[in-house]
Amino acid sequence: MEKLIITGKTPLKGEVTISGAKNAAVAIIPATLLINGTCTIENLPNISDVKLYCDILKELGAKITWHSEHEVTINTTNINAHNIPLDTTRKFRASYYLLGALLGRCKYAQVGSPGGCNLGARPIDQHIKSFEALGASVDVSNGNITATAKKLKGTSIYMDVVSVGATINAMLASVLAEGTTVIDNAAKEPHIVDVANFLNTMGADIRGAGTDIIKVNGVKELKGNATYSVVPDQIEAGTFMIAAIASKGDIIVKNCITKHLESIIAKIIEVGGNVDANGDHLRVWYDKKTHKATIKTLPYPGFPTDLQPQMGVLLSISEGTSIINESIWDSRFQYTAELNKMGAHITSQGKTAVFEGVKNLTAAPVYATDLRAGAALIIAGIIANGKTEIYHLNHIDRGYENIEEKFRKLGAKIERVEE
Ligand code: EPU
Res 85: pLDDT: 66
Dist CA 238 CA 302 (whole Å) = 13
- Tell me the CATH class for 22-229: alpha beta
Helix axes 234-246, 308-316, angle to 10 degrees: 10
Work out which ligand 1 atom sits closest to the CA atom of 165: 23
Res 89: pLDDT: 75
Pick the CATH number of 2-19+232-418 from 3.65.10.10, 3.90.1310.10, 3.40.50.720, 3.30.70.20: 3.65.10.10
Dist CA 276 CA 206 (whole Å) = 34
CB 242, CB 55: distance < 8 Å: no
Work out which ligand 1 atom sits closest to the CA atom of 22: 41
Instruction: Find the Cα–Cα–Cα–Cα dihedral 86, 46, 6, 368, rounded to 10°.
Output: -20
Which residue out of 90, 122, 125, 231 has the highest number of ligand 1 atoms within 8 Å of its CB and is therefore the one to mutate? 122
The ligand 1 site (C-beta within 6 Å) comprises: 23, 26, 93-94, 117, 121-127, 161, 163-166, 187, 305-306, 328, 371-372, 399
Q: One fold for both 2-19+232-418 and 22-229?
A: yes
CA-based nearest residue to 100, from 131, 74, 79? 131
CB atoms within 10 A of CB 278: 9
Dist CA 177 CA 151 (whole Å) = 7
Dist CA 256 CA 41 (whole Å) = 18
Work out which ligand 1 atom sits closest to the CA atom of 328: 15
pLDDT tens by residue, the chain, 419 residues: 899 999 999 999 999 999 999 999 999 999 999 999 999 999 999 998 899 999 999 999 999 999 999 999 999 999 887 777 677 777 777 889 999 999 999 999 998 877 666 766 688 999 999 999 999 999 998 888 999 999 999 999 999 999 999 999 999 999 999 999 999 999 999 999 999 999 999 999 999 999 999 999 999 999 898 999 999 999 999 999 999 999 999 999 999 999 999 999 999 999 999 999 999 999 999 999 999 999 999 999 999 999 999 999 999 999 999 999 999 999 899 999 999 999 999 999 999 999 999 999 999 999 999 999 999 999 999 999 999 999 999 899 989 999 999 999 999 999 999 97
Q: Is 39 a catalytic residue?
A: no
pLDDT for 44-93, tens place per residue?
Answer: 999 988 999 999 999 999 999 999 999 999 999 998 877 776 777 777 77
Which residue out of 19, 22, 23, 236 has the highest number of ligand 1 atoms within 8 Å of its CB and is therefore the one to mutate? 23
Q: Where are the domains of the chain?
A: 2-19+232-418, 22-229
Res 142: pLDDT: 84
20 φ, ψ (degrees, to nearest 5): -65, 155
In whole angstroms, how far apart are CA 263 and each of 18, 249, 316? 18, 21, 19
Exposed, middle or buried by CB within 10 Å (0-12, 13-18, 19+), for 349? exposed
pLDDT for 123-172, tens place per residue?
Answer: 899 999 999 999 999 999 888 899 999 999 999 999 999 999 999 999 99
